């Protein structure tokens, strides 16, 4: 347990570095690249990222299936076939859309190599999670913003390419470099499974079902945040939408990056292994430790937002974003539910109950919608959106808590 705690803490420190480096680099790009060019680039990367969303769902299913069966060749080969199909679909549908509808004026092969390198990186990082190669995972995460910055500087200042080309060169070369680094490091630990015919046994069918459920479940978490954007855009002013988009959502996403994503990257593989080995005492110890950690982090976040959110917004943003501090203050009280819910969903998936994890996510969205419209009956204030979002997170916590109690009762009996 001490080893996984060490990896988890290191991951948070690395995440702090990547968040600060990434945000600083975005500010730097905004100063030297035209706004319309930068907008097109981020739009293209967002579309590519959404098209690869299914690979994120595969990660949880791969982790749980490997911990249970150890049939890595079968799991990896299924994953390979899905990546090939996904890349071909992206090549045939998304690339023409970006070229001819979005209007990205860049050579076709830049887009082709972008989807290829992003896919190869996703393929290898999923393997790192499955094999629980935490050290390589942390090293690649640390390298990601650094490589991106280096390749952009080479492309823009040394090769003198234009803004859009330099941005895509940065993306292609950094993901290619990361993929090569991971592949070389991984092969020292574990050999790459041979390409072979897939055996569709019971374990394989369960793996595929869980992969689909996990993909939809992960996508639901993203949908929930963007529903808040839709409600603000539909019912309130541009100023209130700006408060959420420019200030509140980035702060929330940075907190999730720092303290929630490491749960799925590091604790989920560990919980899967412990559950497969029936190491129930270690699961209980890990849960107690994480709950204490979650209360410490979320309590600190609440205190910072209650006493300093107004000063933070005034200092970091223009005066017109001043109203965002109310959103941040309200959300801070509910961040504890986001953290604990991440652990509980990981434990639910580690036990193999992917359908119940999906039910929790979808229920959270439904609770958000109901809470928003009920709150709006009594108040026209835009805080209703944030309050509804917070209640949705709290509802997910309650549902996942009930399911985890059932798992813990089974553990205690065994």
In this predicted model, what pLDDT tens digit does every residue of 285-335 receive, in sequence order?
899 999 999 999 999 999 999 888 888 888 777 677 787 888 888 889 999
Cα(138)–Cα(96) distance, integer angstroms: 35
pLDDT at 336: 94
Domain edges within the chain: 1-199, 213-414
pLDDT in tens, 136-181: 988 998 898 889 999 999 999 998 888 789 999 999 999 999 999 9
Residue 218's pLDDT is: 75
CA distances in angstroms from 100 to 93, 97, 105, 108, 412, listed in the order given: 11, 5, 9, 11, 59
Q: Across all residues in the chain, what is the average pLDDT?
A: 84
Q: Average pLDDT for residues 63-72, to the nearest whole number?
A: 81
How sure is the predictor about 49, in pLDDT bands with cuts at 50, 70 and 90?
confident
CA distance 115 to 258: 26
- Which pLDDT belongs to residue 412? 66
Task: Tell me the pTM.
Answer: 0.79
Average pLDDT over every residue of 37-64:
77
Percent of the chain with pLDDT over 90: 21
Average pLDDT over every residue of 76-84: 87
């Amino acid at each position: 347990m001490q080893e996984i705690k060490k990896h988890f803490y290191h991951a948070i420190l690395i995440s702090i570095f990547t968040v600060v480096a990434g945000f600083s680099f975005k500010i730097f790009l905004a100063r030297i690249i035209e706004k319309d060019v930068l907008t097109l680039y981020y739009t293209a990367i967002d579309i590519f990222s959404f098209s690869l969303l299914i690979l994120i769902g595969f990660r949880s299913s791969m982790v749980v299936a490997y911990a249970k069966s150890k049939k890595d060749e079968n799991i990896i080969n299924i994953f390979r076939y899905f990546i090939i199909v996904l890349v071909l679909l992206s090549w045939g549908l998304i690339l023409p859309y970006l070229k001819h509808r979005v209007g990205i004026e860049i050579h076709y092969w830049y887009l082709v190599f972008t989807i290829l390198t992003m896919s190869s990186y996703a393929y290898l990082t999923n393997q790192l999670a499955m094999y629980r190669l935490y050290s390589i995972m942390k090293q690649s995460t640390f390298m990601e913003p650094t490589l991106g910055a280096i390749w952009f500087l080479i492309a823009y200042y040394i090769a003198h390419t234009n803004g859009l080309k330099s941005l895509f060169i940065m993306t292609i070369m950094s993901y290619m470099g990361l993929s090569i680094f991971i592949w070389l490091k991984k092969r020292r630990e574990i050999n790459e499974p041979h390409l072979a015919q897939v055996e569709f046994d019971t374990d394989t069918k369960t793996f595929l079902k869980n992969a689909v459920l996990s993909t939809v479940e992960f996508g639901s978490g993203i949908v929930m945040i963007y529903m808040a954007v839709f409600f603000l855009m539909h019912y309130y002013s541009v100023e209130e939408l700006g408060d959420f988009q420019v200030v509140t959502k980035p702060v929330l996403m940075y907190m999730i990056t720092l303290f929630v994503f490491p749960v799925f990257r590091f604790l989920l593989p560990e919980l899967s292994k412990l559950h497969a080995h029936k190491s129930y005492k270690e699961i209980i110890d890990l849960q107690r430790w994480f709950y204490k950690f979650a209360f410490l982090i979320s309590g600190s976040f609440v205190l910072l937002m209650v006493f300093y959110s107004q000063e933070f917004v005034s200092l970091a943003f223009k005066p017109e974003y001043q109203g965002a501090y109310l959103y941040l203050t309200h959300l801070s009280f509910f961040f504890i539910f986001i953290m604990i819910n991440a652990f509980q969903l990981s434990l639910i998936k580690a036990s193999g109950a992917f359908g119940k994890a999906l039910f929790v996510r979808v229920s959270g969205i439904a609770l958000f919608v109901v809470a928003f419209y009920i709150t709006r009956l009594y108040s026209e204030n835009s805080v209703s959106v944030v309050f509804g979002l917070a209640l949705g997170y709290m509802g997910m916590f309650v549902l996942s808590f009930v399911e985890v109690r059932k798992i813990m009762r089974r553990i205690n009996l065994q």
